[in-house]
Amino acid sequence: MVVLNCKEKPPLIKRERELQLQTLPLMAQLHVYETLLQKCKALSQIKQLQAHLTVAGVLPDVAGIRVKLLEVCSLPPISAVHHSQLLFSHTSSRTTNDYNALLRGFAASDEPLQALTFYPLLLRSPSRPDALSLSFALKASARLSDFPSSFQLHSQLLRLGFTPDSILLTTLIDSYAKSGELQYAEKVFDEMPKRDAATWNVMIAGLVQGGRPNDAFKLFEQICHPGSPARPNEVTVIAALSACAQLGAPREGAVVHSYARAQHLDADVRVHNALIDMYSKCGCVDQAVEVFRSIEMPTLVSYNAMIMALALHGHGTEAFYLFKEMVKPGANEIEPDAVTYLAVLSGCNHAGLVNEGLEIFMSMKISRTIKHYGCIVDLLGRAGRLSEAYNVITSMPLEPDIVLWQTLLGASKTFGDVNMAELVSKKLAEMGSNGDGDYVLLSNVYAAKERWAEVGRVREEMRSKDVRKVPGFSFVELDGVVHKFLNGDKGHERWREIYRMLDEISVKIKVFGYVPETSNVLHDIGEEDKENALYYHSEKLAMAFGLINTQDGETIQVIKNLRICGDCHLVAKLISKAYDRVIIVRDRARFHRFEGGACSCNDYW
């Protein structure tokens, strides 16, 4: 039997109340017990109430109370599934609801796999699984991204005849989507006789998570059609905005925003937060600020999204002051969390606000993570304070990871500190790092000092260890089609037009004093060859393609997988002036907004 402390009176039931309960009819007593169960906030209270119910003869025989006890015990805030298992193991006549209570608890717990190992016990029992049983098992499968389990559960769903259950089918779609098997999710979605707004939301979100934002947006357009049987809600809008953010498509994002306004769905602060994120990731930080300022009561998530947006767009000073506004004592004071500190430190980092960043770092009221230390190392490294950055790494209470040392190696390359670069490279080698970036950065440090013998030695070591440099590429998205460019690329069907546009660009920007920054070509070759190597960088090809295929005055957006090089940065500034265009380049670390011959990063990146 379950060991219970029956001598202690549960604090939820006073002695007088206990006597009164005994005089009530059984149904009335059960109602009181259910109410008391809902008030339990700790396992100790559950145990005391369980003791009372056992002595009163209610447990284990009264199935309704037993199931309620299992549910309350299994779910937050108590989350003691192990105790539910004990009670379950001492129940002789188990119903489907008993199994479901544990399945639900396992599915919501830190170990959802237990739901999938427990589910077969129900299949082998005299009880029959119902739609809820399958739903809880599918939720566990979704959390585990376990496609085989989802597929097996789908088979059982068909065999048991639950196909008319739209809620269960929605859970199945979610499970397939989170397993990365979107074709199965789409098949279930297409075959559903009736789809409600939850169903559409799950499918749209699944397509976004699966890297198909174009299809997600098209599905949003379908549900918005006047003939659609379902109507979008706040969750639909948030999912569609996520698709636009992933696409980097401000036009489509503005369409979703307009729809939300027209349907009065933008009153929800979660929609505002999604709008801030979308506009930020589409390079439209001004619109993100407008949305933020329209929120009557910004939440922590609102502030985090806005501070990070400002940081990514190079507005470090604004990010710093918004953080100060957030923590200012007053009625709406909000306590910053780890994300807040990471966002504001990133803002200081990108804007070169060294003293402000150090001030915030030293004033942190929460435990610092490795990412917070990473921001400080990068902050000091970008400012050329390499020895201080090194001291931060060697004195921090956490074990430094490879990324921290790589950050310092990058700073060593920027400032041409060969000694620090060699020291850090040895540290990385000791840690077992074998990434291409480590070798490339060290090679570039040597190349910048024209130490070609050392460059050759590093490259030979890369060849011997089969370490290959990740190629730089850029892409532009136009009308839902992604156009990708590599350095010197002639694979695009319109490459001749693109190269002619590059020739035109070259002539125009020389009028503004353009001189190729050949120091960015770290090879032992002649000056003319260096200029040619720069001429066909992927960023330039993408910008030229954008100029060909967009209207005068239209913003050009380019995404780059690596850090933009100095020469391409200069060319982008001059193109924005020569062609009177706004050009937004998102590299691996931040946004660069080029307009009128200047960049939002103020040439500090």
Average pLDDT over residues 228-235: 90
pLDDT above 70 (res 198) = yes
C-alpha atoms less than 13 angstroms from C-alpha of 234 in its C-beta half-sphere: 11
Q: CA torsion angle for 14, 15, 19, 21 (degrees, to 10)?
A: 20
Lowest mean pLDDT among 4-13, 149-158, 225-234: 4-13
Residue 220, both tokens: 């949003």
Please name every residue paired with 82 in a beta bridge, in sequence order, or none if there are none: none
Q: Which pLDDT band, with edges at 50, 70 and 90, does 17 fall under?
A: low
Q: Strand 556-560 to strand 591-595: parallel, antiparallel, or no bridges (unpaired)? A: unpaired
CA atoms within 13 A on the CB side of 406: 13
The mean pLDDT of the chain is: 87
Cα 502–503–508 angle (5° rounding)? 95
Burial of 227 (0-12, 13-18, 19+ CB in 10 A): exposed
Q: Using 50, 70 and 90 to split pLDDT, how confident is the model at 8?
A: very low
Contact between 311 and 344 under an 8 Å Cβ cutoff? The reply is yes
The helix (run of H) or strand (run of E) holding residue 183 is: helix 182-191
Segment 275-295, tens digit of pLDDT: 999 999 988 999 999 999 999
Q: What are phi and psi of 581, to 5 degrees?
A: -120, 155
Asked whether the beta carbons of 357 and 379 are under 8 A apart, the reply is yes
Distances (CA, A) of 41 to 44, 80, 114: 9, 11, 24
C-alpha closest to that of 125 among 105, 144, 109, 102: 102
Give the count of beta carbons closer than 10 Å to the beta carbon of residue 27. Answer: 7
The yes-or-no verdict on residue 550 having pLDDT over 90 is yes
Q: pLDDT at position 540, please?
A: 94
Tell me how far apart the alpha carbons of residues 309 and 285 are, in angstroms, rounded to a whole number. 7
What percent of the chain is modeled with pLDDT above 70?
Answer: 91
For the chain, state the CA radius of gyration: 30
Bridge partner residues of 474 (DSSP): 485, 560
123-135: burial string, b at 16+ Cβ within 10 Å, e else? eeeebebbbbbbb
Q: DSSP string spanning 509-544?
A: HHTTT----GGG--SS--HHHHHHHHHT-HHHHHHH
Share of the chain above pLDDT 90, in %: 55
First to last CA, the chain: 67
Distance CA 115, CA 331 (A): 44
Asked if 109 and 84 count as a contact pair (C-beta separation under 8 A), the reply is no
pLDDT bucket at 99, cuts 50 / 70 / 90: very high
**Predicted confidence (pLDDT) at residue 525 exceeds the cutoff of 50:** no
Q: Which residue has the higher pLDDT, 384 or 452?
A: 384
Residue 589's pLDDT band (boundaries 50, 70, 90)? confident
Backbone φ/ψ region at 161: left (φ over 0), alpha (ψ -120 to 50), beta: left
| Cis status of the peptide bond prior to 77, with omega within 30 of 0 | yes
- 22 confidence band (pLDDT: 50, 70, 90): low
